[in-house]
């Protein structure tokens, strides 16, 4: 519509996820739609209440956000774009509060961990809260003078807070990769590098992963990411697998893979056909343009 695409994100206005929505859509009209949980964002797209959802999948400091990979397997949705957001944490306080008055900082546990050195150097106490921007909202509501929040500069704008300090993270290589989720797949432009994400599971046998990787390396397809984790509840257990027979789900691994290729290319089709012969489960999450940080 005239108001732009409706894009679901997790958090409250001022959250890093909202900032990522504005960054990805840039000059295009967009309506960021806040939701409490990641699951609510998936539901909004599935029910066509939102056109897209933008969700975090990986952080350079914290690693993969597995909850969203699990939700991708639960819902029949597709990744159609990505964006890398440079996360710059700011110290926010109520208007007029001096740095010397602060005794406690409040934020999401991951943000607290990323600013741990800074917080300790001031001798402040850390208090975990469910969301970075919401911690800003809370200190505003409580009219706190001795509590500061760690959140984005946008959260300061949204809630009318002062920025006492910025770029307070211990490591400045702090990026979060967000993926745009859609009900329908979209064919990426052929003139930009394209990435395909997939999730698969293998039979327990020697050399299984080596053979699976061969499906791609033999066709000159670059791997951008590979990660393994215990199989979640959304992947069927292979009855023939010894791990399944023993009821040991921990040894049944699922692999998350990003390759530098489009799923519509013949070499990728051949690689995936080959992988299907080895895999007990395979799901392509989508092909989309590679974002440049």
Which among 83, 119, 132, 176 is annotated as catalytic? 176
Whether 178 sits among the annotated catalytic residues: the reply is yes
Inter-residue contact 201 to 253 (CB < 8 Å): yes
d(C-alpha 222, C-alpha 59), whole Å:
21
25 is catalytic: no
Residue in 178, 200, 255, 281 annotated catalytic: 178
Quick one: three-class SS letters along the chain?
CCCCEEEEEECCCCCHHHHHHHHHHCCCCEEEEEECCHHHHHHHHHCCCCCEEEEEEEECCCEECHHHHHHHHHCCCEEEEEEEEECCCEEEECCCCCHHHCCEEEECHHHHHHCHHHHHHCCCEEEECCCHHHHHHHHHHHCCCCEEEEECHHHHHHHCCEEEEECCCCCCCCEEEEEEEECCCCCCCCCCCEEEEEEEEECCCCCHHHHHHHHHHCCCCCEEEEEEEECCCCCCCCCCCHHHHCCCHHHCEEEEEEECCCCCCHHHHHHHHHHHHHEEEEEEEEEEECCCC
- Positions marked active-site: 176, 178
């Amino acid at each position: 519509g005239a108001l732009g695409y409706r894009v679901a994100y997790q958090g409250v206005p001022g959250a890093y996820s909202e900032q990522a929505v504005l960054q990805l859509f840039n000059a295009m009209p967009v309506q960021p739609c806040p939701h409490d949980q990641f699951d609510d964002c998936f539901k909004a797209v599935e029910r066509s209440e939102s056109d897209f959802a933008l969700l975090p999948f990986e952080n350079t400091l914290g690693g993969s956000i597995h909850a969203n990979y699990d939700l991708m397997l639960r819902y029949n949705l597709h990744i159609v774009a990505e964006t890398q957001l440079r996360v710059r944490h700011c110290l926010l306080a109520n208007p007029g509060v001096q740095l010397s008055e602060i005794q406690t900082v409040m934020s999401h546990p991951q943000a607290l961990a990323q600013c741990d050195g800074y917080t300790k150097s001031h001798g402040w106490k850390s208090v975990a809260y469910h969301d970075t921007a919401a911690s800003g909202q809370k200190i505003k509501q409580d009219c706190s003078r001795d509590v500061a929040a760690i959140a984005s500069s946008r959260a300061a704008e949204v809630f009318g807070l002062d920025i006492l300090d910025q770029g307070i993270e211990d490591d400045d290589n702090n990026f979060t990769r967000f993926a745009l989720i859609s009900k329908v797949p979209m064919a990426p432009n052929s003139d930009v590098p394209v990435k395909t994400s997939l999730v698969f599971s293998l039979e327990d046998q020697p050399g299984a992963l080596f053979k699976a990787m061969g499906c791609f390396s033999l066709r000159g397809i670059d791997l951008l990411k590979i990660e393994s984790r215990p199989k979640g509840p959304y992947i069927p257990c292979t009855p023939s697998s010894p791990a399944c027979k023993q009821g040991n789900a921990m040894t049944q691994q699922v692999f998350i893979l990003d390759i530098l290729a489009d799923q519509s290319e013949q070499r990728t089709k051949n690689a995936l056909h080959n992988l299907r012969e080895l895999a007990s489960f395979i799901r392509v999450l989508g092909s989309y343009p590679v974002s440049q940080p």
